Every structure is written in structure tokens, then in C-alpha cells.
Amino acid sequence: MGREEDTMEDHCLPKSSMAGGGLIVGNYCHDVLFRDGVVVGEGLGGAASFLSNVLDPLSSNPSLYISKVGPDFSYSVSHAPITSTTSQTTLFHAHFPSTPGGGYHGDRVLHCIRNCEPILPSDIPSYKFEFGLAAGVAGEILPETLARMLDLCRVMFVDVQGLIRIFDSEDGTVGLIPLRSTAFSELIPRIGFLKASAEEAPFLDLEELRKVCCVIVTEGKNGCSVYWNDGEVNVAPFPAVQIDPTGAGDSFLGGFVVGLSWGLAVPDAALLGNFFGALTVGQIGIPKFELSLLKAVRQELERRGTQYSGQCQRKLSVSYQKSVSHKDFQEFLFRTAELYGSSDGTRESIHIGDNGLCEVDEGHSKIL
């Protein structure tokens, strides 16, 4: 981690030991949205739903998803979760005031009304994976579960929200605690990449963490910053009209992982993360990406990843220097968003109702 360029491992894992490109662990949930105390929508939530929306169409290899829900789970998803017999699906209430406040999720106040049972180490099959992604939302990833993932995955990506969130015992209000005070802290040196939002970053000891892993801090309209032992870089944002910020961090992380899996340098992968994060905030609930946009991005990733082809494909080899084509890649993504995307926050399936609220029903979300 102390060099500008580092390679994860020098051997190829036997094909028979691989279950897929990656292991994604984190629960689906039900989200209910309130505006000034009035219910304005409900839909599918959870990091797994936003991550699969980016990873599935763009990854070079399929991933295995491990999630848990209750028998009340009401959505059809591409990756079937484990159904718990002892608890219901995780449920969040997000309250959006007319005037945004401050603090964690300053644009909204988040309450965890109930949470499904945690994902256990025994829920994860004994295969080797190219990468692992721990994306908890409501305490479902235990320290022993993360340790199990670290044993099985060559490179680990972790969203810090799943490690430092706490929930008020009375109303479930989501808060944060310092990472160093959790049982996860001793596992951090084994993590490759730790992602945090700007609101979560103060709960990390960034100067110490960057000595042992790469830390990515998403900064909304300011893009993101990447920190490692020997340096740091800010990666430019993409313009967006924010309608619903839910899931933007998950979409960012999905784009970042996809970029690295195709062999992009870390700043280029972060640029791809910013791109998908910006597209996400311009839509309500789980974003609908145009097939033409996804096709164009995948073709560009395949073109850039050809240098990593061969029998022993060494994707996820990490360079922290901006590539010589970083600016070209940025311009390509700008053009793609203009041609195919929804960067203005609108698309045909969304319209403004008589009550001034957006109305959309796409199977995974219902905004009234």
C-alpha cells in the first residue's frame, strides 16, 4: 500500500475454487419515504439492490449475493435472498423535511424500524472469490462474518456504514460511532478498500487508516477523494440534479468495483463511481439506467481492459496514478451521459402529479 503501484497476488486461483467474480454480502430492505411527515413513497432498498443494478450488467464475471429477508419481503429480485424464519425484512423510514438539516444524512433523517437477522459466517459458501464487497445497512454484517469474507476473498471492499452505524433503542434513528470503538477495527489492515461518505469520514481516523488500506471518501457535488499511504487524489464529479440521494453511495461503490475489475487505475475507477452516483441521485429509488448507456460503458471498459486479457487474468491489480487517458475517459462518460443518460433528473416514466409530487411505479418503487 506504500507504493504508487501495487499488485494484489502473483498467482491465479484455480477455476474450480472460484464461485464467481465476487461475493456481495448485505441485506435487501423495504424503504418508506416521508415528506414533512406524510408518506410519499415506498420501494425496494438495501445496498444489494443498488449494487446489483451496476455490477450485473457491467462486471466481467458474475457475483454471488448473500442477503437475508423476512417472509414479508414483497419484491422480485435477480439474486434470491435467504428467507429468515425468525424475523421480518429490514425496514427503513426516511424523513425528508422541506428544509434540509445537518448531521448524518443531512438531507433526511433515517430510522431503522426493524432489522432482519444478521448474515452468519455459515451462510457463506466455502469458495474463493476474486473480490468481496461488504455492504451492510442495518448491522447484518457481524465481525466474524467480515472475517470469513476476508478469508475467502482476494481483495475486500467495505462500505464503512455497515461497521459504524448505531440505532436508537426507542425510534431507530440512525447514528454513528467511531470505527476504532468497534470490533471491526482489528480487521481493517486486511481490507483493501474502505469507502465512506463525507458525513461518515469524521468517525474514521483517516491518517491512520490510510497507512493500512485505501480510503475513498465520497463528497457529493465535489466528487470524491482517494487516500493511500503515500498520497491522495481528488476525482472530479459529474453534474446532477438531485431528486433522491438514496443509494448514490452504493452506485458509486458498484461503479468503482466494476472499474477496478476491468483493470482501470484507481482514479479512473473512482471516476466511473462518480458517474453512476450522479446518475442515481437524479432518479427516485433504484435508478433505471438506459440499456444503450450500459452497453456503451461496457464496450469502453472491454476496450480498456484488453491489455489484461490472457489465461491468467490479473484484474484488480492496483495503480494509484491517474492513467494517461484519464481525461479522455472523463470526456467519454460526459458524452455518454448526454447521449443516453438521465443526468437532468428526468425520464419518460416520471411525471409530476397534481399534488406536485413525482409519481412512478416500476415494480421496485412506488412514489405517490
* Positions marked catalytic: 250
State the cell numbers at 63.
457475483
Give the closest residue to 314 by CA, choosing from 16, 5, 58.
5
Q: Where are the alpha helices (DSSP H) in 32-160?
A: 47-58, 143-152
CA-CA distances (angstroms) from residue 200 to 67, 175, 308, 340? 24, 10, 35, 32
| Identity of residue 90 | T
| Identity of residue 288 | K
Paired sense of beta strands 5-6 and 318-319, if any: antiparallel
Q: For 204-216, b where at least 16 C-beta lie within 10 A, e where not — what string? A: bebeebbeebbbb
Contact by Cβ (8 Å): 157, 195: yes
CA-CA distances (angstroms) from residue 128 to 33, 56, 154, 190, 264? 39, 19, 8, 16, 23
Query: CA angle, 76 as apex, 70 and 79 as ends, to 5°?
Result: 80
Q: What is the largest CA-CA distance in the chain?
A: 61
The DSSP code for 162 is: H
What distance in Å separates the CA atoms of residue 249 and residue 194, rounded to the nearest whole number?
12
Give the closest residue to 90 by CA, choosing from 177, 18, 165.
165
40 phi and psi, to 5 degrees?
-115, -5
Enumerate residues 6+ apart whose C-beta is below 8 A from 36.
Answer: 96, 97, 98
123 phi and psi, to 5 degrees?
-80, -10
